[in-house]
Every structure is written in C-alpha cells, then in structure tokens.
C-alpha cells in the first residue's frame, strides 16, 4: 500500500498550482468549501477519527487541508472543484495509455478523448487510493472523502511524534503536502481553531457533491430497455474553482495533458468477477467521426493498462 499511496497525487495537478505555496498567506473570512462536500467530510471524519486522539472537527480539518493546495493553488477563498482533473502527467513513456489510442500528441484527431488520472478535490489516482474506484466515485465527495479519511486515519495512528508530526504523516501521499508539509500545516491552522474546537469554513452552496457531475442511465443501443446507472462528466459545467486545470491549450502540449471532452462513465463486473471502469466519448458530445471508449481493470495503473476502442455501443438518457 505504501508504494501506491506515495504516488497518490504526485504529479497529476498542474505545475503552476505549486507556485508560491510556501510563502502564501491566505486572507479570507473562512476558507470556502462546498456545502454538501463539507457535510461529507464531517461524516467521513466522524466514522474515522476515533483512536487518533483528535476531535471530529480537528480530523475534518486534516482531511480538508490538502484540497486547496492540490486544486486551487492554495487560495482558500476559492472553492475546490470536485470535478478537478490533473493535467501534468505528460510522460510518453509512463503515461502513454492515458492518451486516446496511446497517441501522445496534441494534434491527434481524438486527443480530447483523454483518460485523466488525477481526479477530484483529493486528486485520487489509479496508482494510489483511486486504484479501486471509478471516475465518478473519485469525484463524488461522499465516496472520495470516505476513502481519504480512512487512509489518513491509518497513517495518523501509525505515526509517532507530536500531533503535528502525525498530521504530516497523514498528508505525505499528497504531492502538495508531502513535499511541502508546512503548506498544509498553515492551512490546517487557518481552518481549525482548537480553543473552541471549531472549523473556519464558509460553505459554498453553489458547489454540490458531484460538482456538476450528472447522473444518467446508460444502455447498449442494441437493447435500450436494459439500463444501468452512469454519470456524465462535462468540464464546462464544473462547479467551484477551475482556474488551475481548465484552461488553454485544451488539446494539451508537451508539458500539459488535454482537458477531456464530455464523457459517460461507470463500472461493471465482468463474467470473471473483475471490476472494470469505463469511459465513453460519444460522437454527439465530441463532434468526432467515431465514438471513442476505453476501459481499465480495477487495481491497475491507468498509464499502462487503459484499453482504447472505437465505435462505442453506448447510449444514455
């Protein structure tokens, strides 16, 4: 597990997010966080803080602290977007399968049928805590917060030293905090007031649990009466702060991953009992001359395991 978690978010958030983090001092009247996402973090903290020696609110602040450094450039007056995706994993040798048909090129005709690896406000990834999660579970803050809280509690309780040392251990898998732990400590001290055991959080009611992710019912076009739950991701509809990941060039570059066009996503169990994650880019959403789709076996690294196909059989309503 350690080998996976140390890579949890390593390089999948845009590089400029890290600029000036260490010396950045936020000025705000309460760090902004989504309304229902706040409830989800509190619920996850309630389920996991026992045995840590912290309070529920203190542990909730530990869980939240990494989100602003990871996806807003550490601006606490911006609300972390649940639909944030990483854009810095551009290695053609290690990340080739993230790109449509394995073609690492911003000029490729299907380039924005792109399999993003870092997902959500905690940037969960298939080489870390996102290994056994589908895209939508990494986005939705109830499922993602539960996974993050469980792992942070494990790391915190396993660490020795002071409470601050234990917080550093809990944050270590996250790039923005593992390499710049003082950043997350500053955020923690800003959002948690120990004398009264309270959180200094301003709830943003415009940011929902899925941050703009839309629930759908998918079906095979050959049998439209049989449906199953799925979700539609459209980055243009993302709620919360998008400035650190949704910007030009949308097709990507030598140092930047593409921003994916809208796609449908879900997971299913195959005939052998394996869980498979799917993402489908339909022609109606992309304008491409074919519908691209891809799959990943749970527990595998997307960078080397994604399988790309054309002519998707999927429909949705």
With pLDDT > 70 as the criterion, what percentage of the chain qualifies?
A: 89
pLDDT, position 219:
96
Please provide the average confidence, as pLDDT, over all residues in the chain.
90
pLDDT above 90 (res 154):
yes
Looking at the whole model, is its pTM more than 0.85? yes
pLDDT, position 19:
38
pLDDT tens across 211-238, in order?
999 999 999 999 999 999 999 999 999 9
pLDDT above 50 (res 296):
yes
- What would the two tokens of residue 189 be? 């001290």
pLDDT tens across 34-59, in order?
999 999 999 999 999 999 999 999 99
- Provide the pLDDT confidence category of residue 94 given band limits of 50, 70 and 90: low
pLDDT, position 178:
72
In this structure, the number of other CB atoms found within 10 A of the CB of residue 50 comes to 12
Contact yes or no for 109/103 (Cβ under 8 A): no
pLDDT tens across 238-274, in order?
999 999 999 999 999 888 999 999 999 999 999 999 9
pLDDT tens across 63-88, in order?
999 999 999 999 999 999 999 999 98
Contact yes or no for 160/41 (Cβ under 8 A): no
pLDDT, position 95:
73
Contact yes or no for 141/128 (Cβ under 8 A): no
Residue 183's contacts (CB-CB under 8 Å, 6 or more residues apart) are: 21, 22, 24, 69, 74, 176, 177
pLDDT above 50 (res 27):
no
Rounded CA-CA distance 183/192 in Å is: 14
217 or 6: which leads in pLDDT? 217
pLDDT above 80 (res 7):
no
- Provide the pLDDT confidence category of residue 91 given band limits of 50, 70 and 90: low
């Amino acid at each position: 597990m350690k080998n996976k978690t140390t890579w949890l978010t390593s390089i999948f958030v845009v590089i400029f997010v890290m600029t000036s983090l260490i010396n950045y001092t936020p000025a705000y009247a309460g760090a902004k966080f989504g309304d229902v996402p706040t409830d989800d973090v509190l619920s996850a903290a309630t389920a996991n803080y026992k045995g840590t020696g912290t309070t529920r609110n203190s542990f909730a602040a530990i869980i939240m602290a990494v989100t602003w450094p990871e996806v807003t450039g550490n601006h606490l007056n911006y609300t972390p977007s649940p639909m944030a995706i990483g854009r810095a994993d551009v290695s053609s040798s290690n990340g080739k399968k993230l790109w449509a048909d394995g073609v690492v090129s911003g000029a490729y005709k299907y380039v924005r049928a792109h399999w993003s690896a870092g997902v959500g406000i905690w940037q969960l990834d298939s080489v870390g805590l996102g290994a056994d999660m589908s895209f939508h579970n990494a986005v939705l803050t109830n499922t993602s917060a539960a996974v993050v809280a469980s792992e942070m509690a494990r790391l915190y309780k396993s660490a020795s030293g002071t409470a601050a040392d234990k917080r550093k251990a809990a944050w270590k898998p996250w790039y923005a905090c593992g390499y710049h732990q003082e950043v997350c400590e500053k955020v923690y001290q800003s959002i948690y007031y120990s004398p009264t055991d309270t959180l200094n959080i301003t709830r943003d009611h415009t940011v929902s649990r899925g941050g703009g992710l839309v629930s759908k019912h998918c079906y095979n076009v050959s049998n439209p009466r049989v449906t199953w739950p799925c979700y539609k991701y459209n980055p243009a509809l993302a709620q919360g702060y998008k400035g650190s990941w949704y910007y030009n060039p949308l097709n990507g570059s030598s140092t930047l991953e593409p921003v994916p066009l809208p796609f449908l996503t879900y997971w299913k169990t195959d005939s052998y009992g394996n869980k498979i994650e799917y993402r489908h880019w339909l022609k109606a959403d992309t304008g491409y001359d074919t519908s691209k789709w891809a799959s990943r076996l749970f527990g595998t690294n997307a960078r080397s395991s994604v399988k790309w196909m054309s002519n998707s059989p999927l429909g949705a309503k």
